[in-house]
Amino acid sequence: MASPSGPDLGILDGIRASAKNWDLVVLSGGYETPLRRLAESGELAGAIGDFVSDAWVHELHERGVRIVQLAQGSKLKSVPNLGPDYEAIGLDAFTSVLRGGSVEMGIVAVTGQYASDRMVRGVQSHPKREGFLIRQTNAATLPLLQSWLSGMTRPCGVLAASDRLARMVIMAAGNLGWKVPGDVAVFGIGNQRMESVFAGMPISSYELPDRAIGRAAAEVMEQMLLGRSRRVRDRVFSARLIERESSLRLPHGVPRAVAYVEARFAEPLQVDDLAQAAGMSRRALELAMQAANGISPAAMIAAVRCREAKLLLKSGDLPIETVGAMCGYPEPERFSAAFKRWTGLSPRDYRQSATRNPKRKPKTRPAERSG
């Protein structure tokens, strides 16, 4: 298997759920030569990865190797393609830019990348696209991005093909003396938290469904190895926007309070913090959030923390105390107590259950308190 790091855990989940006992080899960048050697040895049955072209995988096909493409850099014609719905991301980002009051939109794409091409197509397909100025660039250095950004009309919005590029847009805006998000609202793709650290502010980002894609890729590979390849089709998976400070032009009220929680759930949040962000009294926020979302502000904090804790625990990599700290509970005992209150399971038991049977969803109790 050749795969980027994102979907690896999902592929492992799919293999654990499979009836087949596979020997698995994870290769990082520069995997072309090892793959060819494995194919020549007759030991390679299938490969999952983001391959550059149909011509490149032709040699593997000739040796009977099954291929599943994780379509980001390229989409292939000769094999099944699985990947995020980048066109939907572009469409949604344009909607967010309009909602935030921008008068112009910029797109920072990657030259020749399939994902970027679909992202741009999504923006251009929006029903309100006509008459709205959209500027596109493939600039990948800070000076070039700064020059490009300086030509835009404020307030504007920028969708970048990665969180790294989004961070560079934020840095370019700072060099120009522009405010983020007041002058330029910035969106990235990938939900890479370290990029927010380097940017000096939480970056609004589309979280890609890497784990779901990985599981599906393993299932597709199993079908192909069993000779059922005629049933296999391309599949796209929905991403979700986690809106944070870099694009937070929401009006005061419940939407701003919800976005504030999404951006700062790892901090020691209190309901009074949400009320201040919403520009409302505590009581007014409680009533408005109950009417709009059916839960209290405290339950909103708990629900977001519970969701993020589950995602981190399923990865199987981080220590439980680290997961707790990343979700607003620096004391391991408080995190364990809160998680058990939410789900009925301890963090350790939840991780074991999710890892042992990824298709089974552990029972979840409604989150009612943030404590």
Q: Tell me whether domains 8-83+210-237 and 86-207 share a fold.
A: yes
Cβ atoms of 132 and 152 within 8 Å: the answer is no
Residue type at 291? A
Q: What is the pLDDT of residues 228-268, one digit of tens each?
A: 766 678 999 999 898 888 998 876 788 888 888 887 888 88
Domain ranges of the chain: 8-83+210-237, 86-207, 250-356
Using the structure block, give the residue that is written with the tokens 């599981």.
Answer: 215
Per 3-state DSSP, what percentage of the chain is helix, strand, and coil (rounded to 5)?
50, 10, 40
Cβ atoms of 327 and 266 within 8 Å: the answer is yes
At a CB cut-off of 8 Å and minimum separation 6, what does 120 contact?
90, 107, 109, 136
Cβ atoms of 354 and 346 within 8 Å: the answer is no
H/E stretch holding 159 reads strand 156-160
Q: What is the pLDDT of residues 269-299, one digit of tens each?
A: 999 989 988 888 999 999 999 998 899 999 9
Cα distances (angstroms) measured from residue 130 to each of 106, 123, 134, 157: 15, 11, 10, 16
Taking the C-alpha atoms of residue 321 and residue 336, their distance in angstroms, rounded to an integer, is: 9
DSSP single-letter state for residue 2: B
Taking the C-alpha atoms of residue 214 and residue 48, their distance in angstroms, rounded to an integer, is: 9
At a CB cut-off of 8 Å and minimum separation 6, what does 155 contact?
100, 101, 102, 103, 182, 183, 184, 185, 249
Q: How confident is the model at residue 361 (pLDDT cuts 50, 70, 90)?
A: very low
* pLDDT at 74 (0 to 100): 94
Of the candidates 44, 50, 83, the one whose C-alpha atom is nearest the C-alpha of residue 64 is 44
CATH superfamily of 8-83+210-237: Response regulator (3.40.50.2300)
Beta bridge partners, 107, equal: 136, 159
Q: What is the pLDDT of residues 56-90, one digit of tens each?
A: 899 898 899 999 999 999 999 989 999 999 999 99
CATH of domain 250-356: 1.10.10.60
Q: What is the pLDDT of residues 110-129, one digit of tens each?
A: 999 999 999 999 999 998 88
CATH of domain 86-207: 3.40.50.2300
Q: What is the mean pLDDT of residues 335-341?
A: 95
Q: Which two tokens stand for residue 332?
A: 């391991």
pTM of the full structure: 0.72
At a CB cut-off of 8 Å and minimum separation 6, what does 175 contact?
142, 146
